[in-house]
Each structure stands twice: as structure tokens, then as C-alpha cells.
Amino acid sequence: MKLTIAPILVIILLVSSFSTILVNVSAESEPNVMVSPECGELEGFSMILKVNGFEPNGNVQWQVVHPESKTIASYGYFATNSTGGFNEDAFIEGPLIKGSYEFQLFDDLDQDNLPDNNKIQKILTISVPC
């Protein structure tokens, strides 16, 4: 009887451990991104970016994209630290068109203006004007 119970307990422990690993990986895959302010002026505006959770010691491209026309209003790169983060100021250049914009951030180690395959991307919404 002990031989039957022991393998079942081992399987339960393995499945439990594996599900914990999956939960932790999922939690880590969503970066923490704070932009301030979340809106700006048509003539352009400055933003403070507090970011963490991208590829460590890599490059993150940010860009402001008008969702309807798909035009890129502003973009830039920041190097990430050992935790995949950075605290930087960015200037969003005007003139901008009134409406909502996508503020896109993505890992771009080779700086080719394209998101790296199977890496992290984050999209926020900012409004112009406030």
C-alpha cells in the first residue's frame, strides 16, 4: 500500500511545484510601467517614465503612436539596468493631433525599431490634450 501512495504524493508535489513556477513566470512577464503625466499638450510635453521588468541590461524602445493613422509622433531608446528597468524623462514632440495615443514600450536589443521576438511589450494609452 505504501508503494502506491508514495508515487502519488511525488506526482502531486511535482505538479504543485510546476504550477507555482508557471505562476511566477507569468507574474514576471508583465513589466511595471508608470508614466506621468498620462496626458499632454498638442504642442508637445515632457513625461517621466518609471519602468521595470524588461530584458535586464538591454534596450527598450518607446514610441508614441496615433492608433488610427499609425504615425509615430515621437520615439526613443533607454538602456535597462540589471532588473530591466530605468527612470528617465522623455519629451513627446508636437505638434500632435487631438485624441488618444498608444504609448508603446518593447525590448529591442539590436535597436532595429522592431520588437524583439518572444520578448516583452507593453502598451499604455495617453491623451492629448489633457
Domain positions in the chain: 1-30, 31-128
Within its chain, how far is the Cα of 64 from the centroid?
14
Q: Is the pLDDT of residue 40 over 50?
A: yes
Which residues, in sequence order, are bridge partners of residue 105? Answer: 62, 122
CATH code for the domain defined by 31-128: 2.60.40.1930
Q: Is the pLDDT of residue 13 over 50?
A: no
How far apart are alpha carbons 59 and 76 in whole angstroms? 10
What local confidence, expressed as pLDDT, does residue 7 receive?
57
Q: Nearest 5°: phi and psi at 13?
A: -65, -40
Residues 17-38 pLDDT 10s: 443 333 334 345 799 999 999 9
16 pLDDT band, cuts 50/70/90, is very low
How far apart are alpha carbons 64 and 24 in whole angstroms? 30
Beta strand residue intervals within 37-83, DSSP E: 44-52, 59-65, 72-79
Count the helix, strand and coil residues of the chain and give each as a percent rounded to the nearest 5: 20, 40, 35
What local confidence, expressed as pLDDT, does residue 68 receive?
87
Beta strand residue intervals within 80-120, DSSP E: 86-93, 99-107
This prediction's pTM: 0.76
